[in-house]
Structure 1
Amino acid sequence: MSQALQILRKVWKHNSFREPQEAIIQSVIDGNDTFALLPTGGGKSVCYQIPGLLSDGITLVISPLIALMKDQVENLQKKDIKAIALSGGLSQDEIITLLDNCQFGNYKFLYLSPERLQHEWIVERLKQLPVNLIAIDEAHCISQWGHDFRPAYLKIKNLKQHFPKVPFLALTASATERVQQDIVENLELEHPKFFKKSFYRENLAYHTIKTDDKLSKIKQILTKNPQSSIIYVRNRKSCHELARQIQYLGFTATFFHGGLPAKEKEKNMELWMQNKTQVIVATNAFGMGIDKPDVKTVIHYQLPENLENYYQEAGRAGRDGSKSFSVLLVGSSDTETAKKLFEAAQIDKSFLKDVYKKLNSFFQIAYGEGFGQEFSFNLNQFCTHYTFPVLKTFNALQFLDRQGIITFLNKSSEKVKMFFLLPSKEIIRYISLHRDQEEIITTILRTYSGIFEVETGINTTLIAKKAKTSETIVLKVIHELEKAGCVSLQVHNSDAIITFNETREDDLTINPVLKFLEQYNEVKKQQFDSVLYYVSDQKICNSKKLLNYFDEKEVNDCGICSVCLQKKQSETNIPVLITEIHSALLKKAATSEELEQQLNIDSSSLIQALQLLLDQNYITLNSQNQYTIFKWKN
């Protein structure tokens, strides 16, 4: 393992492996099929990247997360490691070019989605590559009982026929025992070596706090812990609003969600990564591939969608090993609101069919056509046009995405179309005067030969890869060409991209996946019930509840979560706390929030002590909602 450790130190700048990375890497190098269950922050990517670098040939990495693929490729390229991703929106010619690069360009990593394996011609091209390892990320997606089941994952096992001596490495951050069994069976892993790291985080305190004044509670938390923080919200509107409110309270804050332009995402991310802002308010679009070790606090402003997401998002705190906090804020009406939203968002067969047919009509796709076509998409515009409920429609599109019928990339994009207005000799003259733009302009001309004759759609991601630069710089050069009068330019912004992976045949397209819809709804219901149980039960340790959910049964109380602290304080501190509250109120009337800050105690213990004082008529509430010493009237 000395070579592996040398690569870790040289390329990743780490002095040692995390448990059990080293054993996983050795298993893969030995040629074993391997299963690795590493909770978030466990360093899954290193487990296939180092074996890939140690072996001749190329590693296939199969992942459903386009954003994560892009992030991984960019990180590898920054380390001067040759990597490519077959991301969405590429034409067949573009894919052929990229696969040619893999075959003849000494590339080490090829990232692709499982849906790509449904195209026989792509599999035929993969068979020509010197594959040394097949890594399956987010492997829980192969199980119907996993929280993100994707039928396309069931095709991965077919690669065994073409690469019988190549080891499979299945990786996941969240899988129950039932899902683990499905992964092994559906991938047809042969005598796999199992590696599981406990979900227990000894330095992470899980707090569930009941409060109707969430902003005041956030102020208290951020004041007490002024280090880097994340606040998760459920929608984009809340991102902007809550970030503004936090700034008004005097904290530095920015925001992040899938609808932001790429430049703004990058700017906001950098502000937070460099600790120029304390807080980033984000939807669950934020976090994939982010490894910021000094995050002190992760706050969930609303109930999470499921405990898998909650565990992963909470786990972004304290990766440096220091004491850290995950805080879930629960208002008195949150549970009922969540129930109503959940019921309203449930999709049935007729609604799913209606959304699919209307989606084809929206883009004017004729029956028997549509395969491979890509469109910019605005969800609100689509829902307004057909009077569809937004959340329910979003869930339907996500379901169609997971079944491989469409690829629904929920992110802001810029669809670029351009046409050269000047003849080629004038463009050559322009290039001679702008040598810094030469590589990008010549790449565009080589890639799109008819761009002088007709308006042409430009794949800026592909141009950036070919020109070995960033997409931001490509867009900058294109806009400078427009200012100079060299090109006519159209840039259409959207909040999503939809690619049709199947030919439109309406019921014939949809009917095969309807059998999975009932299973999908059942899994969603179980997940939702688990969230409600987690926030409502205040007797069982929060860490233990999470671990039990992931089938870790023999665990002790953590001693640091809100439930454990309440138990300790109830057993030993309530009499002392009552005395402290009484003394404080003798000096000055105060609200519960003021007492909480003044006495530096948790809200659950405070409420318990205040209730005892109220019951005994020692204190009362005045018209300003302040607690004060009870005074008898003569």
Structure 2
Amino acid sequence: MDAQQILKKYWNHDSFREPQEAIIQSVLEGKDAFALLPTGGGKSICFQVPAMMNPGICLVISPLIALMKDQVQNLQKRDIKAIALTGGISSDETIDLLDNCQFGNYKFLYLSPERLQSDWVLERIKGLPINLIAIDEAHCVSQWGHDFRPAYLKISKLKEHFPKVPFLALTASATQRVQDDICTQLGLTNPAVFKKSFARENIAYMVFEAEDKLFRIQQILTKNPEPSIIYVRNRKACHDVSAQVTTMGFKSTFYHGGLTQKEKEKNMQSWLMEDVQVMVATNAFGMGIDKPNVRTVIHIQLPENLENYYQEAGRAGRNGVKAFAVLLLAPSDIQTTESQFLSVLPDKIFLKEVYIKLNNYFQIGYGEGINETFSFNLNHFCQRYKFPVLKTFNAMQFLDNQGIISLSKEFSEKITVRFLLESREVIRYISLNPSDEPVVTAILRNYSGVYEIETAINTNLIARKSGTSEENVIEVLKRMHQKEICLLHSQSNDSQLTFNEVREDERTINRIAKFLQQQNEIKTKQFESVIRYVSDKKQCKSRLLLEYFGETDTKDCGICSFCITQKKIEKSPLEIAQNILALLKNSPLSSREIENSLELSTEETIFALQLLLENNKVKINNQNQYISL
């Protein structure tokens, strides 16, 4: 089958997007390639289609576990054999998975770059019939990228083992300096370079100053009742803003890294199926999301960099219809966010302290700890050592990026059970409660030691074995716990933490300290670019974004917050005052109602009302409304 037929058969698309077909052709010709495809450009198709056309297996290197899992699930749904080799998998399981790749006719092997640091994994990969090596999120290979990971530097070693296999580097956001660095660091041979413009002509980039952001959100969502995303910075804000939006009369849900997989799925589906209009989310939401009719993406806090902002804003208007990317800015936001942002960047001293305490927390001795995995609760850890949570999280994320530890961001729930009664009493219980029998029997068959010690139970496994749901398994166990038939403990964990190296305190931190300093400098400069973007009132917002990404041949978009002010015919304060008086003849109104009715800015409204008050043309009643005199 040719590329078009593969696309139709497995993805049910009739045609490729520009420049997918040219990238695929380059790969099929055996050439190295670099592709810069902004959000929604369909990066995965560029390696998935040619991999399906050639015999052998495609090796996909990606730093994002959630994205790997998402892509593997999507391939499996299309009856394409794919495997993900992520960080928390044991050596035995890894050997089994690699055996499957070698002998099971698999087409895709996804792995994190840290996996290449294991010599035996690399040796096994050398023996696979690799037909293409795709490097996703390739900006991570550049020391000038916004998420540099030293483990990515190991990828170039694959060139020695697979000199005739094409390499395809893909990223959604990279400045020119980063693009050049990617090609150098990966050792790409005369790469064909494909760049799609960052211009999204149907997105109106808006920056609005708003003291009352919730009121502005209410205006936006009322005017645009289609699906929307509101991005916030943390989990607490997710819950709070979602509740406030619901109180305003809009159906809303939320999404962040602290939800269970079931909660994520449930909330995601209610938004995708449009049972709710608004998704309030942290940046954990977005990977693999391709909902075409998102009308508005609203940021109510300043993003850390324009790369992330562009990707998140770009989830609007995938169907080509006019959409809005709105950033709401309170007067104090820049100063507050800047001091908050800089105060949570860890320095070498703090990083070393966190690393040592982390090892002490899990009682790991010097020279020990490699490949040990623990359940980890960040808040408990910070409380014990009186560390600031966000700064600690940033330090741990840096250790994760450097491959010192692996921190899975997925929420897990550990359930342990111990039967308190002897077996004949348990049998008597299930004879009296036949609806509970399948669950109890499944536990007894799979966990023989459940009478002697508290035993960790895989509720998903028990649900499958007993032909019921996980919720029902937990309900049965809760009932038995209440009746003192069993002891039930449920412990929630934010994540799992794996130590990838032996503990070497000083040596470990000294080795990576230069990267930390460099990263802090890059992050500071990137945040300064965000400030320039929101503060500049003399240029088109779309042009500012395009120029940041190195596009110089740009023109005003005509639809952003700057461009519409240029088009707007300025009304004189006298004319506005007359319009307000005409409006107030019908009924008393608040300043907000006046602003909305006449589509004025807050400044225009306040100035005109002050004129009218000074000239005794209006007065304010006890409901804070204006009345004409």
Normalising by structure 1, report the TM-score. Answer: 0.88
Q: Provide the C-alpha distance between the structure 2 equivalents of 1:60 and 1:308, rounded to a whole number of angstroms.
A: 26
What letter corresponds to residue 14 of structure 1 in structure 2? H
Q: Provide the C-alpha distance between the structure 1 equivalents of 2:29 and 2:572, rounded to a whole number of angstroms.
A: 56
1:25 aligns with 2:24: yes
What letter corresponds to residue 342 of structure 1 in structure 2? F
* Cα shift at 1:593: 2.6
User: Structure 1: which 5+ runs fail to align?
Assistant: none
What letter corresponds to residue 550 of structure 1 in structure 2? F
- Say if 2:148 and 2:401, in contact at 8 Å, map to a contact too: yes
Q: Is the alpha carbon distance of 1:481 and 1:162 closer, same or farther for their aligned partners in structure 2, counting shifts above 3 Å? A: farther
1:231 aligns with 2:230: yes
Q: Provide the C-alpha distance between the structure 2 equivalents of 1:128 and 1:458, rounded to a whole number of angstroms.
A: 37
- Say if 1:620 and 1:627, in contact at 8 Å, map to a contact too: no
Q: Provide the C-alpha distance between the structure 1 equivalents of 2:198 and 2:519, rounded to a whole number of angstroms.
A: 25
> RMSD between aligned alpha carbons?
3.4
Query: What is the aligned partner in structure 1 of residue 142 from structure 2?
Result: 143
Q: Provide the C-alpha distance between the structure 2 equivalents of 1:140 and 1:280, rounded to a whole number of angstroms.
A: 28
Query: What is the aligned partner in structure 2 of residue 78 from structure 1?
Result: 77
Query: What is the aligned partner in structure 2 of residue 243 from structure 1?
Result: 242
- Say if 1:585 and 1:627, in contact at 8 Å, map to a contact too: no
Query: What is the aligned partner in structure 1 of residue 542 from structure 2?
Result: 543
Q: Is the alpha carbon distance of 1:519 and 1:28 closer, same or farther for their aligned partners in structure 2, counting shifts above 3 Å? A: same
* Cα shift at 1:622: 4.2
Q: Provide the C-alpha distance between the structure 2 equivalents of 1:420 and 1:123, rounded to a whole number of angstroms.
A: 45
Could you tell which deviates more after superposition, 546-555 or 576-585?
Answer: 576-585
- Say if 1:376 and 1:415, in contact at 8 Å, map to a contact too: no
Q: Provide the C-alpha distance between the structure 2 equivalents of 1:202 and 1:344, rounded to a whole number of angstroms.
A: 37
* Cα shift at 1:387: 0.5
Query: What is the aligned partner in structure 1 of residue 396 from structure 2?
Result: 397
SS at match of 1:532: helix
- Say if 1:58 and 1:130, in contact at 8 Å, map to a contact too: yes
* Cα shift at 1:612: 6.4
- Say if 1:61 and 1:110, in contact at 8 Å, map to a contact too: yes
Query: What is the aligned partner in structure 2 of residue 10 from structure 1?
Result: 9
What letter corresponds to residue 170 of structure 1 in structure 2? A
Q: Provide the C-alpha distance between the structure 2 equivalents of 1:367 and 1:566, rounded to a whole number of angstroms.
A: 63
* Cα shift at 1:414: 2.4
Q: Which of 607, 611, 617 is the equivalent residue of 1:611? A: 607
Query: What is the aligned partner in structure 2 of residue 56 from structure 1?
Result: 55
Query: What is the aligned partner in structure 1 of residue 284 from structure 2?
Result: 285
Per-residue CA deviations over 1:471-516 (Å, capped at 9, x if unaligned) read: x967977987998999987653111221111111111222110111
Query: What is the aligned partner in structure 1 of residue 66 from structure 2?
Result: 67
Query: What is the aligned partner in structure 2 of residue 319 from structure 1?
Result: 318
SS at match of 1:356: helix
Q: Provide the C-alpha distance between the structure 1 equivalents of 2:56 and 2:373, rounded to a whole number of angstroms.
A: 32
Query: What is the aligned partner in structure 2 of residue 500 from structure 1?
Result: 499
The list of structure 1 runs, each at least 4 consecutive aligned residues, that deviate by more than 2 angstroms after superposition, is 414-423, 448-461, 472-492, 570-593, 606-631
* Cα shift at 1:406: 0.7
1:336 aligns with 2:335: yes
Q: Is the alpha carbon distance of 1:170 and 1:361 closer, same or farther for their aligned partners in structure 2, counting shifts above 3 Å? A: same
Q: Provide the C-alpha distance between the structure 2 equivalents of 1:384 and 1:593, rounded to a whole number of angstroms.
A: 44
Q: Is the alpha carbon distance of 1:74 and 1:367 closer, same or farther for their aligned partners in structure 2, counting shifts above 3 Å? A: same
* Cα shift at 1:334: 1.1
* Cα shift at 1:11: 1.6
Q: Is the alpha carbon distance of 1:116 and 1:621 closer, same or farther for their aligned partners in structure 2, counting shifts above 3 Å? A: farther
Q: Provide the C-alpha distance between the structure 2 equivalents of 1:575 and 1:26, rounded to a whole number of angstroms.
A: 64
* Cα shift at 1:607: 2.3
- % identity of equivalent residues: 59
Per-residue CA deviations over 1:151-181 (Å, capped at 9, x if unaligned) read: 0000000001111111000000000000000
- Say if 1:59 and 1:134, in contact at 8 Å, map to a contact too: yes
The residue correspondences of 1:34-433 to structure 2 (distance < 5 A) are 34-415=33-414
- Say if 1:298 and 1:316, in contact at 8 Å, map to a contact too: yes
The residue correspondences of 1:594-609 to structure 2 (distance < 5 A) are 594-600=593-599, 603=601, 607-608=603-604
Number of aligned residue pairs = 612
SS at match of 1:45: helix
What letter corresponds to residue 197 of structure 2 in structure 1? S
Q: Provide the C-alpha distance between the structure 1 equivalents of 2:352 and 2:151, rounded to a whole number of angstroms.
A: 20
* Cα shift at 1:579: 5.3
Q: Is the alpha carbon distance of 1:623 and 1:514 closer, same or farther for their aligned partners in structure 2, counting shifts above 3 Å? A: farther
Could you tell which deviates more after superposition, 192-201 or 14-23?
Answer: 14-23
Per-residue CA deviations over 1:368-394 (Å, capped at 9, x if unaligned) read: 111111111111111111000111111
Q: Provide the C-alpha distance between the structure 1 equivalents of 2:618 and 2:351, rounded to a whole number of angstroms.
A: 55
Q: Is the alpha carbon distance of 1:100 and 1:578 closer, same or farther for their aligned partners in structure 2, counting shifts above 3 Å? A: farther
* Cα shift at 1:628: 5.0
Q: Provide the C-alpha distance between the structure 2 equivalents of 1:47 and 1:441, rounded to a whole number of angstroms.
A: 45
Q: Provide the C-alpha distance between the structure 1 equivalents of 2:131 and 2:366, rounded to a whole number of angstroms.
A: 42
Q: Provide the C-alpha distance between the structure 2 equivalents of 1:521 and 1:487, rounded to a whole number of angstroms.
A: 51
Q: Is the alpha carbon distance of 1:98 and 1:551 closer, same or farther for their aligned partners in structure 2, counting shifts above 3 Å? A: same
Normalising by structure 2, report the TM-score. Answer: 0.89
Q: Provide the C-alpha distance between the structure 2 equivalents of 1:450 and 1:136, rounded to a whole number of angstroms.
A: 45
Per-residue CA deviations over 1:437-488 (Å, capped at 9, x if unaligned) read: 99x979x96xx99999987767889x79xx999xx96797798799899998
- Say if 1:228 and 1:275, in contact at 8 Å, map to a contact too: yes
Q: Is the alpha carbon distance of 1:378 and 1:505 closer, same or farther for their aligned partners in structure 2, counting shifts above 3 Å? A: same
What letter corresponds to residue 219 of structure 2 in structure 1? Q
Could you tell which deviates more after superposition, 403-412 or 208-217?
Answer: 403-412
What letter corresponds to residue 525 of structure 1 in structure 2? T
- Say if 1:578 and 1:610, in contact at 8 Å, map to a contact too: no
What letter corresponds to residue 76 of structure 2 in structure 1? Q
Per-residue CA deviations over 1:129-161 (Å, capped at 9, x if unaligned) read: 111100000000011110000000000000011
* Cα shift at 1:89: 1.3
Per-residue CA deviations over 1:92-120 (Å, capped at 9, x if unaligned) read: 00100111111111111111000000000
Q: Is the alpha carbon distance of 1:236 and 1:88 closer, same or farther for their aligned partners in structure 2, counting shifts above 3 Å? A: same
* Cα shift at 1:365: 1.2
Q: Is the alpha carbon distance of 1:579 and 1:326 closer, same or farther for their aligned partners in structure 2, counting shifts above 3 Å? A: farther
Q: Provide the C-alpha distance between the structure 2 equivalents of 1:487 and 1:170, rounded to a whole number of angstroms.
A: 54
Per-residue CA deviations over 1:607-626 (Å, capped at 9, x if unaligned) read: 24653674696777847796
SS at match of 1:19: coil
* Cα shift at 1:574: 8.4
* Cα shift at 1:352: 0.3
Q: Provide the C-alpha distance between the structure 2 equivalents of 1:599 and 1:74, rounded to a whole number of angstroms.
A: 51
Q: Provide the C-alpha distance between the structure 2 equivalents of 1:455 and 1:189, rounded to a whole number of angstroms.
A: 54
What letter corresponds to residue 371 of structure 2 in structure 1? G
- Say if 2:576 and 2:608, in contact at 8 Å, map to a contact too: no
Q: Provide the C-alpha distance between the structure 2 equivalents of 1:218 and 1:362, rounded to a whole number of angstroms.
A: 43
Q: Is the alpha carbon distance of 1:388 and 1:620 closer, same or farther for their aligned partners in structure 2, counting shifts above 3 Å? A: farther
- Say if 1:586 and 1:628, in contact at 8 Å, map to a contact too: no
Per-residue CA deviations over 1:293-327 (Å, capped at 9, x if unaligned) read: 11111011111111111110000001011110011
What letter corresponds to residue 611 of structure 1 in structure 2? F
User: Structure 2: which 5+ runs fail to align?
Assistant: none
- Say if 2:87 and 2:115, in contact at 8 Å, map to a contact too: no
The residue correspondences of 1:434-513 to structure 2 (distance < 5 A) are 491-513=490-512
* Cα shift at 1:571: 5.6
SS at match of 2:568: helix
Q: Provide the C-alpha distance between the structure 2 equivalents of 1:263 and 1:366, rounded to a whole number of angstroms.
A: 37
* Cα shift at 1:257: 0.5
Q: Is the alpha carbon distance of 1:292 and 1:621 closer, same or farther for their aligned partners in structure 2, counting shifts above 3 Å? A: farther
